[in-house]
Amino acid sequence: MSKDYYKILGVSNGASQDEIKKSFRRLAHEHHPDKGGDQQKFKDINEAYQILGDVEKRKTFDQFGSAAFEQGGMGAGGFGGFGGFSAGGGSAYGGDPSGFNINMEDMGDLGDVLGGMFGFGGRRGGREARGQDIQVDVNLAFKEAVFGVEKEIKLYKNDSCTECDGSGGTKGSKMKECSACHGKGSVTKTQRTIFGSVQVQHPCVDCRGQGRVPEQSCSRCKGFGIEKRQKEIRVAIPAGISEGESIRVTGEGEHPGRGAKPGDLFLRIHVSSHPTFTREAGDIRSIVDIPYSTTMLGGNVDVETVDGPVTLKIPEGTQTGTIFKLRGKGVPFLRSHGRGDHYVTVQAKVKTKLSREERSLLEKIRDAGL
């Protein structure tokens, strides 16, 4: 009998894949038999999502209806008991012989549960084991952040065993089938969930999901492939990096052991303030005091920049607070070529104590109306 999968999931024919997924999640929770739901209704909901949740199968359904899946597909195998679904028959679309081919990664946390219930999804051994990431705070001087610097980072962490180079076995030792998982790389465990008791696959602890172990374990690391030791690495900090940014060093995090990948190292950057300069993105700003006479008569003054001193020409009649731009004297751009600018604010330097001669000269200037 023809089935309307859209109607079963309570969505329209034009529903998006995201809408279909959300509706399936809601209905699966609502109608699960262990929560008092109808067993046949639950079967229909999962069957409908198996088709509509797959873009290609959905296209086939839209064109031919549910009849396209009734031979060797969803309709043929049926479902087993609800303690952990099992299904017979083969799929006309390949993949799992149960006919189920739900993308578990799209299902989030629910996918882990359903994957164990229905026995589909996932690669051998489950998710690939990976070590924890490490975060280290790195302090930079102002000019180190501007021009870049190489820093030595000292870590005390789990790293590859220096004796066996992370293999876990003695030199020349052959690999054999893991006795714990019989070479599968994973073990099946029964778990209690909101769906009841389900069987979920986990990576084998003994072989780390590889299915094979060394015949003779390394005497230094006892077969784990790792040892706790101090390691020093040199990291190039790029020019133009800013306060609070992070640098990722791939593979320099904690090593979880044989057959797994290490985590990453993240360097969180902190930049010290400078007594003269302030930074605004790629630009640098500073304030320079100049003699009052220079503001009136003009002249040259030396200005300190991150590249060293430069001479700045002050025009006659410059007002205090005037800003001059030194093009290309700022911070190198982190992700592109070129540099920012250096903006210099000049202000007249006012003396607090005057000699008799200086006072006399200023009084003459005042009397002249200047």
CB proximity list for 112: less than 8 A, separation 6 or greater: 104, 200
Cβ atoms 284, 342 nearer than 8 A: yes
Beta bridge partners of 313: 300
User: How would you classify the pairing of strands 342-349 and 323-326?
Assistant: antiparallel
Domain boundaries, the chain: 5-118, 134-271, 278-367
CB proximity list for 39: less than 8 A, separation 6 or greater: 33, 82
Q: How far is CA 252 from CA 158, 220, 325, in A?
A: 10, 21, 43
Question: What tokens does 231 get?
Answer: 């390691």
Give dist(CA 73, CA 20) in Å, integer: 21
Helix/strand/coil for 87:
coil
Asked whether the domain spanning 278-367 has the same topology as the one spanning 134-271, the reply is yes
The H-or-E segment that residue 50 falls in is helix 39-52
Q: Which of 276, 275, 243, 297 is nearest to 344 (CA)?
A: 276
pLDDT tens for the chain, 370 residues long, are 578 899 999 999 888 998 999 998 888 888 877 677 788 888 888 888 888 988 888 888 887 777 666 644 443 333 333 333 333 333 333 333 333 334 444 444 455 445 444 444 444 444 556 888 999 999 999 999 999 999 999 999 989 888 888 888 888 888 888 888 888 888 887 777 666 677 777 778 777 778 888 888 888 888 888 888 899 999 999 999 999 999 999 999 998 887 778 999 999 999 999 999 999 989 999 999 998 888 888 999 999 999 999 999 999 989 999 999 999 999 999 888 899 999 999 998 877 787 888 788 777 877 777 6
- For the domain covering 278-367, report its CATH number: 2.60.260.20
Question: Would you give the distance in Å from CA 134 to the centre of its chain?
Answer: 13
Give dist(CA 370, CA 317) in Å, integer: 11
Domain covering 5-118, topology: Helix Hairpins (1.10.287)
pLDDT score for 183: 85
pLDDT score for 270: 95
Q: How far is CA 48 from CA 4, 44, 150, 194, 226, in A?
A: 8, 6, 58, 21, 47
pLDDT score for 68: 67
As to burial, measured by CB atoms within 10 angstroms (0-12 exposed, 13-18 middle, 19+ buried), residue 263 is buried
Report pTM. Answer: 0.56
User: How would you classify the pairing of strands 134-140 and 265-271?
Assistant: parallel
Q: Which of 117, 105, 109, 119 is nearest to 32 (CA)?
A: 117
Give dist(CA 357, CA 117) in Å, integer: 98
pLDDT score for 124: 42
Give dist(CA 312, CA 299) in Å, integer: 9
Residues 27, 29, 32: CA angle, nearest 5 degrees: 95
The H-or-E segment that residue 268 falls in is strand 265-271
Domain spanning 134-271, CATH class: mainly beta
Helix/strand/coil for 233:
strand
